[in-house]
Structure 1
Amino acid sequence: MSSTISPFHLSIPDSELADLRNRLAQTRWPDPETVSDNSQGPRQAKLRALVARWQDGYDWRRCESMLNGLGQHRTEIEGLNVHFLHIRSPEPGAMPLLMTHGWPGSVLEFRDVIGPLTDPVAHGGQAQDAFHLVIPSLPGFAFSDKPAATGWTVERIADAWIILMGRLGYERWAAQGGDWGAAVTTAIGYKAPPGLACIHLNMVMFQPSEQECAEATPHERKMLADARRYDQQFSGYFKLQATRPQSIGFSLADSPVGLAAWIYALFQDVSDSGGDVESVFALDHVIDHIMLYWVSNSGASAARLYWEAMQVMQHGKDPDAPMATPTGISMFPGEQLRLSQRWAERRFANLVHFNELTRGGHFAAMEQPAAFVDEVRRTLGALR
């Protein structure tokens, strides 16, 4: 295994972009939905507007240039080349922070928080709040290699990220994540490698016990109701990708509009937008995420992470003891899977920060970047 870290320069050939434009122009649209809301999924008018922008006015080279400017790299870990952003702060005392995205996100989830976290002085903050950022693409996502065999579980990804931080020379560092990033970050927290100072989560994957459900306060009953609604109305993608990822994978690889609708649905359903994606997210930013999946043909390989996780969940068990690693948790109200502070305290033995915010959803760093940055700083401030 090579320990070489190589610069990665992104340059999608013009021929691939021309093929994309041709596919978009030849889209065969389904009949419109038969309802006046989002209950059947993304509405045709919304997707037609997205595709119209995609075809006329959207500039992929802008996103490509931004990623190249941030500093992209690849390195081989456990036989898999991992793509990551590495943005060093100008502040010599900055703390290294590993940040992991989820699905259907990407490293672009963090674009609006990179500046304030790495160079706080330039954004109205203090030098003591600075971080060096390491932002990897999950295996099978974007420009990380696609696993050719089973076994790339959340636990294995956590081990790979620990190797990555050591390879970069970081002796003391912290980790942050939401969605699959939260699962990976939680696994790192349980592993407690030497040098890990703290973790921060904006989502916690947990199942309340029967006793907790029975004794739930009115506030906690609202959390349980939202989780049930997610399972009943919004989780179709999860169940399909966890059981038959290859079935949807053919569509995600062949149809850009199919890929766009599959991704757009999550931005619609689990953000704090009331189902109006464009009220929270810049449409070009949504297309940027879709493009990372399209140009890397990673729709199927990313979906298979759900299948991998389900194999473990079916045979695993909850940890026997609360996590000892210092942990900060930020609960955004639009997140469908939330937990209360008392539920968190039973699972995290050293809960150094817990806060329930008033705005924001599943894509916290994109929806509420200023609040997200403040939560990370408040969690890690005393542990530098």
Structure 2
Amino acid sequence: MQPQPFKIAIAEDAITDLRNRLNRTRWLTGIEGQGWSEGTDLAFLQLLITYWADTFDWRTQESQLNQLPHYLAQVHEQTVHFIHQPGTGTAPMPLILTHGWPGSFVEMQQLIPLLADPASHGGDAADAFHVVVPSLPGYAFSPAPLHKGVGPYEVAGLWAALMQGLGYARFGAQGGDLGAGVSTWLGRRFPDQVSGIHLNYVPGSYRPPLGPDQPPITADEQAFLDRSATFADAEGAYAKLHGTKPQSLAIGLNDSPAGLAAWMVEKFQAWTDCSGDLHSAVSLDALLTNISVYWFTGSIGSSLRPYVEGRNRPLSFAAGERVQPPTGVALFPAELPMPPRSWVERCFDVQRWTTMPKGGHFAAMEQPQLLAEDIRAFFRPLR
């Protein structure tokens, strides 16, 4: 594997085309009092689209992203885009961070320096990491697979090979959303390479063995299952669509930046710890940088593939099967339904379980300092 340095350089005509499309948005007529109750609030979206077209400066954001060391590498048959930030400390620990949907490597922009150089950000140099942040296949600058069958299970194999190719025989893994699934598969498939996994979300497809030979479901576990069912009924239509008929949706989102923003921003509003005011959790520039990466790379269609593949290979366990490496879990209060510790311990070796004071699903963007501190604390005894 021979990584090649990479710089983000979006063509000027692509930026002009985006602005032209934004200015030609054909708006719906809203219903009084609709707000966010049935999807993205039209008033908020109009504000966002106006800002995107007239004020947002992609070149400034591009320059900031390029301050991080980007690379492309051929890993098996897949080209992978990744950030590789060497740690500053006495003995940095290799760590791979995996994003999810509708996020990207952009989520990790503030988190990376806190982990790679903790001493410069109020931490201890002994907690430094060599940080690797790849883009999932079909996301951002990692090209889409050309065939079916590349889901979280297979991505774990790519990540293990990537880390080995970078010279890291043993490493930690961290993730939320789809990245939690990839990180879990890493621990499950490669226990001799993975020193530990840290999750800020427990994969939604995780199912421990249940039945007469297993411990009975507790009241807390049943309450979690009930919450999950309620969430799936009220908020889960997106995942059902992503996992069954994503192509029809993707054609429209790939053609309309306003449509793309509407589909993505609803999740940021619903899943962040913002009390209904998204500005309080994620800045418009951060939000639009992430959405712009999807737009400029035309990756919304391929970004939905992990939902299809995950349905085909869920993270289920037979009796006696476990994730061997130690596991840490950080519970942010505005996260999607999260299970109690007992549910996770049925198949994971949980060694750290932290209830966070604030934050939501996009923890690396919302609360990078809190997340960094918990990651450092979890891996400290595993170095």
Q: Into which bin does the TM-score normalised by the smaller protein fall?
A: over 0.9
Q: Decide whether the 8 Å contact of 1:162 with 1:193 is kept in 2.
A: no
In structure 2, what is the equivalent of residue 365 of structure 1? 364
In structure 1, what is the equivalent of residue 283 of structure 2? 282
Taking the aligned partners of 1:33 and 1:235, their CA distance within structure 2 comes to 23
Deviates further, 57-66 or 8-17: 57-66
1:368-383 aligned within 5 A: 368-383=367-382
Q: CA deviation at 1:67?
A: 2.0
Q: CA deviation at 1:223?
A: 3.7
In structure 1, what is the equivalent of residue 351 of structure 2? 352
User: 2:120 is aligned with what amino acid?
Assistant: A
Q: Secondary structure at the match of 1:228?
A: helix
1:1-384 aligned within 5 A: 3-205=1-203, 206-207=206-207, 215-217=218-220, 223-313=224-314, 317-320=316-319, 321-348=321-348, 350-384=349-383
RMSD: 1.8
Specify every segment of 5 or more residues in structure 2 that has no aligned partner in the other structure, as ranges.
Answer: none
Q: Decide whether the 8 Å contact of 1:189 with 1:199 is kept in 2.
A: yes
Q: Secondary structure at the match of 2:304?
A: helix
Structure 1 pair 323–232 and aligned structure 2 pair: CA distance change class (3 A) = same
Q: Secondary structure at the match of 2:145?
A: coil
User: 2:219 is aligned with what amino acid?
Assistant: A
Q: Decide whether the 8 Å contact of 1:33 with 1:44 is kept in 2.
A: no
Q: Secondary structure at the match of 1:326?
A: strand
Q: TM-score, normalised by structure 1?
A: 0.94
Residues 209-261 of structure 1: CA distance to partner in whole angstroms, max 9, x if unpaired? 589895313xx565445423321222111111100110111111100000000
Residues 351-383 of structure 1: CA distance to partner in whole angstroms, max 9, x if unpaired? 221112231111111111121011101110111
Q: Decide whether the 8 Å contact of 2:191 with 2:324 is kept in 1.
A: no
Structure 1 pair 333–226 and aligned structure 2 pair: CA distance change class (3 A) = farther
Q: CA deviation at 1:272?
A: 1.8
Taking the aligned partners of 2:123 and 2:138, their CA distance within structure 1 comes to 36
Number of residue-to-residue matches in the alignment: 377
Q: Secondary structure at the match of 1:262?
A: helix
Taking the aligned partners of 2:227 and 2:39, their CA distance within structure 1 comes to 18
Q: Secondary structure at the match of 2:183?
A: helix
Q: Decide whether the 8 Å contact of 1:200 with 1:379 is kept in 2.
A: yes
Residues 295-316 of structure 1: CA distance to partner in whole angstroms, max 9, x if unpaired? 0000101012211211223xx8
Taking the aligned partners of 2:308 and 2:343, their CA distance within structure 1 comes to 28
Q: Secondary structure at the match of 1:116?
A: helix
Residues 242-299 of structure 1: CA distance to partner in whole angstroms, max 9, x if unpaired? 0011011111110000000011011011222233211211011010110010000001
Residues 175-222 of structure 1: CA distance to partner in whole angstroms, max 9, x if unpaired? 0010100000000010134332111011112347589895313xx565
Specify every segment of 5 or more residues in structure 1 that has no aligned partner in the other structure, as ranges.
Answer: none
Q: Decide whether the 8 Å contact of 1:120 with 1:127 is kept in 2.
A: yes
Taking the aligned partners of 1:202 and 1:141, their CA distance within structure 2 comes to 21
Taking the aligned partners of 1:51 and 1:222, their CA distance within structure 2 comes to 40
Structure 1 pair 78–35 and aligned structure 2 pair: CA distance change class (3 A) = farther
Structure 1 pair 333–223 and aligned structure 2 pair: CA distance change class (3 A) = farther
Taking the aligned partners of 2:178 and 2:318, their CA distance within structure 1 comes to 18
Q: CA deviation at 1:317?
A: 4.2
Structure 1 pair 324–35 and aligned structure 2 pair: CA distance change class (3 A) = same
Taking the aligned partners of 2:293 and 2:123, their CA distance within structure 1 comes to 31
Taking the aligned partners of 1:152 and 1:275, their CA distance within structure 2 comes to 36
Q: CA deviation at 1:37?
A: 3.6
Taking the aligned partners of 1:47 and 1:233, their CA distance within structure 2 comes to 22
Q: CA deviation at 1:33?
A: 3.9
What is the aligned-residue identity percentage? 40
